[in-house]
Amino acid sequence: MARLSEHGLRRSVGVPGLFATAYGNVGSSIYYALGLVAAHALGLTPIVFLFAGGLFVLTAKTYAEGASMFPEAGGSSSFARHAFNDVVSFFAGWALSLDYIITIAISAFFVPHYLGAFFPALTHNPGDIIGGLVTIVLLAGLNIRGLGESAKLNLFLAIADLCTQVLLVGLGFVLVFSPSLLIDQVHLGLAPSWTQLIFALSVAMVAYTGIETVSNMAEEAKDPGHDIPKSVNLVLIAVLGVYAGISVVALSALPVIHHGVGFSPALAESYRHAGYATALGGHFENDPVLGIVSRLGLHGTVLTLAKAYVGVLAATILFIATNAGLIGISRLSWSLSEHRQLPTLFSSLHPRFRTPWFTIVFFSILAGLLILPGETTLLGNLYSFGAMLSFTTAHVSVIALRIKRPDQERPYRMPWNVPFRGHVIPLTAVLGAIGTFGAWCAVVALHGEARTIGIPWMVLGMAGYFVYRRRQGLDPRKPYKIERPQRPPDFEAFDYRSALVPIFGADVSASALHSAAKLIGEEGVVYAIFVLPVPSQLSLDAGLEEEEAHGRSVLESARIQARRAGIKIHTGLIRTRHPGASLVEEAERVGADVIYWSTIHAPAGEQRIGPTAAYLLSRRPCRVIIETDNRAGHDRTLAPDRASAGAV
């Protein structure tokens, strides 16, 4: 008998893909955060963004260390599970789920505002509310049908967005920048008042949504220990530079003015500090970047084209950010459900499309409900509430791991480490925890929405968690993981459309082809590859004529049998010194969805988990299914396993 095991997510995302995904989420925040913060910070908006950016730097370093240690979905929830217990893990995960809901709602709500460059009715109620709801419904439907993220599209849009923002900063410095104007519009203690300054600081963290994205994608990174820290550092440089530059240009183009000195009715809609206000946080609060473009001194066709370009780009970026929020909440809820912290309904898949349909529908409805009031301040305040809780938990968890697991492999270690009672404590995480917890306290004290919605959200979630664990007869503190049901040998799972099947030695019957064909369905394609290892003392193209002829005979036999069975097949022979590396390269070249590896007819050294199988599991260019000879007589099964490479 044989046993099959399926291992891990496809490790196919490198630094460009991680950077593009993270920057697409973090960079998109400028299109709404600028107006939200400027409404309260006024002339100190650049300073507020820089201070919030400092907290973002500390938090990003924490996530880089945590995600490199545990490259798995869940972010702060995952860190807390390893550092403490499942109660703390769920607490962080539930706070994080609120962030994802807000990301979906706020990104979708601002999509119609930027499309207002073409359709003015979308810039105010009810047009913006309807437009935001349509965006969520459309993306929810597409995600249920299986819409994923395109790494190439994300990279293109991230670069286009970054270049546009840099160009906007450059034009602003040339056309409107005035250092004296920036200084003159600051009236500390009056405009803004101290209370409003603290209020603005707590709101400003909405500008840095998306850092959890990198952590959630760690499971798919090619080299988590190297790629995650590097991509985080690139995002830090890009985001901090852009936010500092755009906020300075914004206050030069749309300065703070006093009542009676150019004060217009439009400004009366914004928050006023002793008669001071800025159109950046008033008339243009919901489309601040379009407001900057309109005040750069451009005229005629140039202005029209510039506003159209920014409107389309911003709407597209926000649309992608909304989709990223849906994907993020799907991965998070799957992780929580897999660890029995949410009911299994949250990890149930659509019978046809194989997507987490319930999670998508459930959280899309919640995001839609938050859009209905049409209040951007509500969304920004709620995001800060959830983000500060999850960030603080992440900092504390990584500090605890330094104490509880000092010998844990850390591909990346945070800087500023100091010895303390026999342990090495990262000051970056300590300062980050103090800063984010202080920001959370400010949110709770100053933002009514945090008290009326955020706290009940956490209370209800924690209560539901304890009730669920009690009904399941599980200890709330202990970790659990769902054992996925094993599927029978004659299953037909149409999750895959192409399979690469390595063939060794004497597998003339090509039995693995038939098993692989059941995985991919009638429309799928099997790539049968005969592997001919070449000894190191021979050149790759010398000798082994007899072995090569045998391999081609095996492939011909496989072709005949496959065609008789109605299997679409392509064959090939590779001569290699490193079978694992060659198979990974071949799988990437043909875009295989799964590698079906049968060790039954493999050489003695490749039986069960040999060196080639171990290499495939470590690289994982796609799903890897291993068929081994089980002498104990167990049934042939397929079971997902995301544990360490090499486990069967």
Give the C-alpha separation, 122 to 126, whole Å.
8
- Any residues with CB less than 8 A from the CB of 210 and at least 6 apart, and which? 22, 24, 25, 26, 28, 29, 103, 321, 324
Read off the pLDDT of residues 417-427 as tens digits, 9 standing for 90 and up.
999 888 899 99
Give the C-alpha separation, 114 to 161, whole Å.
14
pTM exceeds cut of 0.75: no
- H or E stretch covering 546: helix 545-564
Percentage of the chain modeled with pLDDT above 90: 16
pLDDT mean across residues, the chain = 78
Question: Residue range 239-267: average pLDDT?
Answer: 72
C-alpha angle 115/118/120, rounded to 5°?
85
Domains and CATH numbers, the chain: 11-468 (1.20.1740.10), 498-641 (3.40.50.620)
Q: 33 is written with which tokens?
A: 């955060």
Predicted confidence (pLDDT) at residue 403 exceeds the cutoff of 90:
yes
Question: What pLDDT does 639 receive?
Answer: 34
Between 167 and 443, residue with greater pLDDT: 167
Question: What pLDDT does 562 receive?
Answer: 79
Predicted confidence (pLDDT) at residue 151 exceeds the cutoff of 70:
no
Give the C-alpha separation, 638 to 626, whole Å.
9
Lowest mean pLDDT among 181-195, 239-253, 424-438, 577-591: 181-195
In contact, 526 and 566? CB cutoff 8 Å: no
Question: Residue range 136-152: average pLDDT?
Answer: 75
Lowest mean pLDDT among 218-232, 300-314, 446-460, 591-605: 218-232
pLDDT band at 7 (very low <50, low <70, confident <90, very high): very low
Identify the sign of the CA torsion 609, 612, 614, 617.
negative
Predicted confidence (pLDDT) at residue 120 exceeds the cutoff of 60:
yes
pLDDT band at 39 (very low <50, low <70, confident <90, very high): confident
Question: Residue range 175-190: average pLDDT?
Answer: 82
Read off the pLDDT of residues 334-392 as tens digits, 9 standing for 90 and up.
778 888 899 988 877 777 666 778 988 999 999 999 999 887 777 877 877 888 888 89
Between 634 and 619, residue with greater pLDDT: 619
**DSSP assignment string, 25-40:** HHGGGHHHHHHHHHHH
Burial grade of 590 (CB within 10 A; 0-12, 13-18, 19 or more): middle
In contact, 410 and 82? CB cutoff 8 Å: no
Q: Helix or strand or coil: residue 258?
A: strand
Q: Where are the alpha helices (DSSP H) in 185-254?
A: 194-204, 211-216, 224-253
Question: What pLDDT does 494 receive?
Answer: 43
Give the C-alpha separation, 21 to 29, whole Å.
13
Percentage of the chain modeled with pLDDT above 70: 80
Read off the pLDDT of residues 291-345 as tens digits, 9 standing for 90 and up.
899 888 888 899 899 989 999 988 888 888 888 888 888 878 877 888 889 998 8
Lowest mean pLDDT among 87-91, 446-450, 511-515, 529-533: 511-515
pLDDT band at 411 (very low <50, low <70, confident <90, very high): confident
Read off the pLDDT of residues 509-557 as tens digits, 9 standing for 90 and up.
556 777 777 777 777 888 888 888 776 555 555 566 777 888 888 888 8
Read off the pLDDT of residues 456-513 as tens digits, 9 standing for 90 and up.
999 999 999 999 999 999 999 998 877 644 433 433 444 578 888 888 766 555 567 7
